[in-house]
Amino acid sequence: MTQSPPPAAISLTNARRIYGSGETEMVALNGVDLDIAPGRFVSVIGPSGCGKSTLLRLIAGLEQPDDGAVSVYGVTPEVACSAKMVGLVPQAPALLPWLNVLQNVSLPHKINKGADKKRPAAAQAIETASGMSEIPDMKELLRLAGLGEAMHKLPAELSGGMQQRTAIVRAFGLRPDVMLLDEPFSALDEFTRESLQEQLLDLWDEMKSTVVFVTHSVSEAVRLSDTVIVMAPNPGRIVDVIDIELARPRSASMIKTAAFHQYEDLIRESLQNAWRSPETQNAA
Ligand SMILES: Nc1ncnc2c1ncn2[C@@H]1O[C@H](COP(=O)(O)OP(=O)(O)O)[C@@H](O)[C@H]1O
Ligand SMILES: [Mg+2]
């Protein structure tokens, strides 16, 4: 007896997204085909304006493709979102300033009681198998993210890195099957960034979510990912999909190894081609 493969956590088929019309028409995404298996950590990298945020908005159901299809565990992004299967962390952490850290991360549970019942069977089966069907202990998640001491502080009393960690814990707190992060660490210094990378990996390990992580940093993409997707602009599209076959956990010392550098070089090369490609496109 042959078993049908489990549905992709995220699937895009020939997805196209256009902004404006006529003179101002802008093809933000064109012909995007992508299948991401459950539990993968996937990074998206590419020059500014190549459609990375648009891609996340399509998966989050905040926008619809003009052509092609997008699905999350075999259902539309809208259905997935109303079942609270999708978490989104934007570039700037949007915390409520009058609530402390613990209250901020606990808020989604208060608003979303009962959302679980609507989850498609495929997502529920994965949760049951991974033992993640309980609401996570938010205090424990905060401790895991290094915020144990900051639980009762207000956002204004936190550093930028701590605010961003709070936003990430809040998004993971709903146990989203799919977690979308749009350049969450781009405003942070190198040192803070590295410690957040580790905490993000710990949370991912704990929550078993499928992650799509947008970044500008090549080394960050290699360190974190199972797969790196390289995009190019005009029109926004995927030009390369590179699997990172490095063992986990990936320690800070792994960044210095030859294998790690080889992956960085491969992605840099691909990005350079992505920069050159608009001319090629115009000449065609
Ligand atoms: N709401 C919008 N209206 C018009 N153009 C947009 C809109 N959102 C994005 N764009 C354009 O679409 C392209 C892709 O944008 P975006 O997805 O934000 O790229 P990235 O995140 O890779 O920098 C850019 O040229 C951008 O200017
Ligand atoms: Mg963007």
Convert the pLDDT of each residue in 46-56 to its tens digit: 999 999 999 99
Question: What is the model's pLDDT at position 268?
Answer: 97
Residue 257 CA from chain centroid, whole number: 26
Q: Give the span between the Cα atoms of 232 and 49, in whole angstroms.
A: 9
Confidence of residue 284 (pLDDT cuts 50, 70, 90): very low
Cα–Cα distances (Å) from 80 to 85, 177, 194, in that order, read 5, 9, 31
The answer to the question of residue 28 being in a domain is: no
Between vectors from CA 231 to CA 196 and to CA 67, what angle results, nearest 5°?
A: 115
Q: Which of 99, 85, 104 is nearest to 145 (CA)?
A: 104
Cα–Cα distances (Å) from 57 to 51, 70, 132, in that order, read 10, 11, 26
Between 254 and 14, residue with greater pLDDT: 14
Distance between Cα 51 and ligand 1 center (Å):
6
Question: What is the model's pLDDT at position 280?
Answer: 46
Q: Which residues surround ligand 2, an ion (CB under 5 A)?
A: 52-53
Over the stretch 67-94, which tens digit does the pLDDT of each residue have? 999 999 999 999 999 888 999 998 888 8
As a whole-number percent, the residues of the chain with pLDDT over 90 amount to 63
Domain count, the chain: 1
* Residues with C-beta less than 6 Å from any ligand 1 atom: 19-20, 26, 28, 48-54, 236
**Is 208 within 8 Å of 222 (Cβ atoms)?**
no
Confidence of residue 34 (pLDDT cuts 50, 70, 90): very high
In the chain, DSSP assigns E strands to 10-19, 26-36, 41-45, 67-72, 86-89, 178-182, 210-214, 227-232, 237-243
pLDDT over threshold 90, residue 177: yes
Nearest residue CA, atom 2 of ligand 1?
Answer: 19
On the CB side of 283, CA atoms within 13 Å amount to 5
pLDDT over threshold 50, residue 98: yes
Over the stretch 213-256, which tens digit does the pLDDT of each residue have? 999 999 999 999 999 999 999 999 999 999 999 999 888 788 99
End-to-end, the C-alpha distance of the chain in Å comes to 49
Nearest residue CA, atom 14 of ligand 1?
Answer: 51
pLDDT over threshold 80, residue 194: yes
Distance between Cα 49 and ligand 1 center (Å):
6
The answer to the question of residue 189 being in a domain is: yes
The answer to the question of residue 126 being in a domain is: yes
Distance between Cα 51 and ligand 2 center (Å):
7
Between 147 and 124, residue with greater pLDDT: 147
The answer to the question of residue 77 being in a domain is: no
pLDDT over threshold 60, residue 279: no
**Is 41 within 8 Å of 213 (Cβ atoms)?**
yes
The answer to the question of residue 79 being in a domain is: no
Q: Which domain holds residue 134?
A: 40-60+88-283
Find the CATH number of the domain harbouring 220: 3.40.50.300
Closest atom, ligand 1, to C-alpha of 54: 17
Q: Which string of b and e fits 27-42 if b means at least 16 CB within 10 Å? A: bbbbbbebebebbbbb
Question: What is the model's pLDDT at position 281?
Answer: 53
pLDDT over threshold 60, residue 134: no
Confidence of residue 188 (pLDDT cuts 50, 70, 90): confident
Question: What is the model's pLDDT at position 126?
Answer: 53
Q: Give the span between the Cα atoms of 207 and 22, in whole angstroms.
A: 45
Question: What is the model's pLDDT at position 95?
Answer: 94
The answer to the question of residue 219 being in a domain is: yes
The answer to the question of residue 254 being in a domain is: yes
Q: Give the span between the Cα atoms of 132 and 130, in whole angstroms.
A: 5
The answer to the question of residue 83 being in a domain is: no
Q: Give the span between the Cα atoms of 89 and 185, in whole angstroms.
A: 10
Distance between Cα 27 and ligand 1 center (Å):
9
Q: Which of 74, 87, 199 is nearest to 126 (CA)?
A: 74
Question: What is the model's pLDDT at position 206?
Answer: 86
Distance between Cα 8 and ligand 1 center (Å):
26
Q: Work out the mean pLDDT of the chain and round it to a whole number.
A: 88
As a whole-number percent, the residues of the chain with pLDDT over 70 amount to 88
Between 281 and 150, residue with greater pLDDT: 150
Over the stretch 157-175, which tens digit does the pLDDT of each residue have? 999 889 999 999 998 888 8
**Is 81 within 8 Å of 177 (Cβ atoms)?**
no
Q: Give the span between the Cα atoms of 14 and 12, in whole angstroms.
A: 7
Nearest residue CA, atom 26 of ligand 1?
Answer: 49
Confidence of residue 122 (pLDDT cuts 50, 70, 90): low
Question: What is the model's pLDDT at position 69?
Answer: 98
